[in-house]
Chain A
């Protein structure tokens, strides 16, 4: 799965900010509306750091809920039904406010 590519991306971004020091922990902001399986990501992260100076580094994941809003009647909130993007109040197509995040927030270095 692509969690390996995502984990590699996390380590690349974290590494650029670690100034060559071993990474202990990475803070990740992860939206609920991403195609990422948390367990698979943690597994890939562990596998990619094994045998490197950052071996044992951990991911601290802050999950962000899917929040949508209606451009017509201004209703906003979490979709009532699974990923339903039709406004529960007026039926218009809603826009995503949060839930697509995949960002490295901080990195703990030694």
Chain B
């Protein structure tokens, strides 16, 4: 028996591929956003609601990750934004390799804001770098105020946290105040947006934040096709 010293990251292959994706994004002057949540928290609904605003300044495109079906890509396409569906089969998260493969079929030159909607899952996607510039987490506010402590990693790694379905708060027994304070404990620096895709509350604020961040990450002159 021989002990061989290694000292290497387990996900080094994914990290290397993510770095390649990042270079490709840089080369094409686009900002990439990784949107993560548990299933049914409202990732696609948030995107449907904010894409019209994003389109006023950017040329967005969406990569949809799901286990099965192309339903979400169809929903996005109805907003007039190009969408590419990745179906992972049994894999519970997107990884950098899946994104790299999708990018070969993607009109990168026609996009300056790439939104990647991850597979619905509140644990696994947080560990996999895709090469994104920003991470956004969507959380269904009615699922409970203690969830940031139970699933801290995704909340922690997010650059912004959206608390969706606030219109249902009065029926849920969840304290929005406690929920926000628990998010802040895990991630004191990320802005928290309380939104409702049903009423539209808070979505303009989030869209404004995202556009401001995308502008400041500006890798390309922003087109002025208002």
Contacts and interface: CB of A to CB of B under 8 A. Distances in A.
A57 B149 CA distance: 34
A29 B2 CA distance: 19
B92 A2 contact: yes
Contact of B185 (A17, A34, A84): A84
B188 A13 contact: no
Contacts, number: 108
B152 interface: yes
B186 to A, nearest CB: 5
Contact of A109 (B1, B10, B12): B1
B13 A9 contact: yes
A50 B171 CA distance: 50
Interface stretch (B25-33, B48-56, B120-128, B158-166): B120-128
| Majority secondary structure of chain A interface residues (helix, strand, loop or mixed) | mixed
A13 B27 CA distance: 29
Nearest to B185: A84
Given A107-B6, A109-B1, A9 B14 contact: yes
Contacts of B13: 9, 12
A106 B1 CA distance: 13
Given A1-B92, A85-B187, A35 B4 contact: no
A104 B95 CA distance: 20
B3 interface: yes
B177 interface: no
A12 B6 CA distance: 12
Contact of A24 (B1, B7, B185): B1
A5 interface: yes
Interface string A76-100: 0000011111100000111000000
Contact of B124 (A2, A14, A81): A2
Contact of A34 (B3, B5, B153): B153
B144 to A, nearest CB: 14
A110 B1 CA distance: 5
22 contacts: A1-B124, A2-B92, A2-B128, A6-B127, A9-B11, A9-B12, A9-B13, A13-B6, A13-B9, A14-B6, A17-B6, A33-B156, A35-B124, A35-B127, A92-B188, A93-B188, A102-B9, A102-B11, A103-B7, A104-B9, A106-B5, A107-B6
